[in-house]
Amino acid sequence: MGDLWLGSLTIFLTIMGSQGQLKTGFYSSSCPNAEATVRSTVQSYFNKDPTIAPALLRLHFHDCFVQGCDGSVLIAGSSAERNALPNTGLRGFEVIEDAKSQLEAKCPGVVSCADILALAARDAVDLSDGPSWSVATGRRDGRVSLSSQASNLPSPLDPISVQRKKFSDKGLDDHDLVTLVGAHTIGQTECRFFSYRLYNFTTTGNSDPTIDQDFLGQLKALCPNKGDGLKRVSLDIDSPTKFDVSFFKNVRDGNAILESDQRLWGDPATQSIVQNYAGNIRGLLGLRFNYEFPKAMVKLSSVEVKTGTQGEIRKVCSKVNLY
DSSP letter, residue 269: H
Please give the share of the chain, as a percent, with pLDDT higher than 90: 85
| List of the chain residues with pLDDT < 50 | 1-19
291-314 confidence digits (pLDDT tens): 999 999 999 999 999 999 999 999
Pairing verdict, β 188-190 and 232-234: antiparallel
What residue segments make up the domains of the chain, in order of their start?
Answer: 33-152, 160-300
**CA separation for the pair 298, 41 (Å, rounded):** 22
Q: Which residues are catalytic?
A: 62
**CA separation for the pair 203, 108 (Å, rounded):** 55
Provide CATH code, domain 160-300: 1.10.420.10
Q: What is the pLDDT of residue 152?
A: 87
Q: What is the pLDDT of residue 18?
A: 41
Which residue ranges are tagged as binding site?
63, 66, 68, 70, 72, 81, 154, 184-185, 236, 244
Which residue ranges are tagged as binding site for Ca(2+)?
63, 66, 68, 70, 72, 81, 185, 236, 244
Backbone dihedral angles phi then psi of residue 111, each to the nearest 5 degrees: -95, 125
Q: Residue 189: which H helix or E strand, with range?
A: strand 188-190
Q: Does domain 33-152 sit in CATH 3.30.70.930?
A: no
pTM: 0.90
Interhelix angle for 113-127 vs 287-300, to 10°? 170
